[in-house]
């Protein structure tokens, strides 16, 4: 209950305080390439309940959604504004909407698409999905350059499934075991510092 109240208060303050920046990002996305401001995609939330995540769109609009679900290196689908938004993580600010609505938390395991959740080991699946997914977590900080790592693999999707995902799940399980408001505040500060350093 305390965590949900913290999330709601902080996301409300964030949406109000950052409103001018969010509007500017929306305008830049719209001017840079045709398509919607937000990228919406089904992700798996708490207790396996699906929801549609918000992100500022960073790729060329593909209504068929035919492209791969992971981004590898200098993906040519990424727009000019999208490249900056991804590097600065500003595209993730739209997820404050999901936190406010209750689908997500500020801190928690990053939500995956159903296709990758199907690969979660049974021993970890229920634990990782027992909490609301978050905008940031330990894995988000450690894997800030995930697409560059995958670009070096001969088969990026297999590298993600068999190398990156297991490590992310281990970190997510650790977060669930150690979860507290104090830990959330530390991870939020670490995330902000990582972004500013970059």
Q: What is the pTM of this model?
A: 0.88
* Boundaries of every domain in the chain: 2-197
Mean pLDDT score, 148-171: 84
Mean pLDDT score, 8-21: 97
Structure tokens at 48: 């396996």
Per-residue pLDDT reduced to its tens digit, 101-111: 999 999 999 99
Full 3-state SS string of 130-157: CCCCEEECHHHHHCCCHHHHHHCCCCHH
Q: Does pLDDT of 34 surpass 80?
A: yes
Q: What is the mean pLDDT of the chain?
A: 90
3-state secondary structure (DSSP) of residue 55: strand
d(CA 160, CA 147): 10
- Look at 86 and 44; give whichever has higher pLDDT: 44
3-state secondary structure (DSSP) of residue 107: strand
Mean pLDDT score, 8-27: 97
d(CA 80, CA 75): 11
At residue 69, the pLDDT reads 60
3-state secondary structure (DSSP) of residue 169: helix
Give counts: helices (H), strands (E), the chain: 11, 4
Per-residue pLDDT reduced to its tens digit, 63-75: 655 566 666 556 7
Listed residue (55, 50, 53, 77) closest to 66, CA to CA: 77
When mean pLDDT is compared across 5-14, 40-49, 153-162, the lowest value belongs to 153-162
Q: Report the percentage of the chain scoring pLDDT > 70.
A: 92
């Amino acid at each position: 209950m305390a965590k949900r109240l913290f999330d709601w208060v902080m996301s409300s303050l964030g949406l109000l305080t950052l409103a001018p920046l969010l509007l500017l990002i929306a305008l830049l996305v719209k001017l840079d390439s045709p398509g919607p401001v937000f990228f919406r995609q089904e992700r798996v939330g708490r207790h396996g309940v699906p929801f549609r995540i918000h992100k500022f769109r960073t790729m060329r609009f593909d209504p068929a959604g035919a492209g791969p679900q992971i981004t590898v290196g200098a993906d040519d689908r990424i727009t000019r504004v999208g490249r900056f938004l991804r590097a600065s993580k500003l595209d993730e600010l739209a997820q404050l909407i999901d936190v406010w609505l209750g689908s997500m938390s500020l801190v928690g395991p990053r939500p995956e698409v159903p296709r990758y959740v199907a690969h979660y080991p049974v021993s970890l699946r229920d634990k990782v999905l027992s909490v609301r997914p978050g905008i940031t977590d330990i894995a988000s900080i450690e894997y800030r350059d995930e697409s560059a790592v995958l670009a070096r693999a001969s088969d990026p999707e297999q590298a993600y499934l068999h190398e990156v995902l297991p490590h992310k799940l281990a970190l997510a399980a650790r977060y669930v075991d150690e979860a507290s408001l104090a830990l959330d505040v530390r991870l939020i500060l670490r995330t902000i510092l990582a972004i500013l350093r970059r």
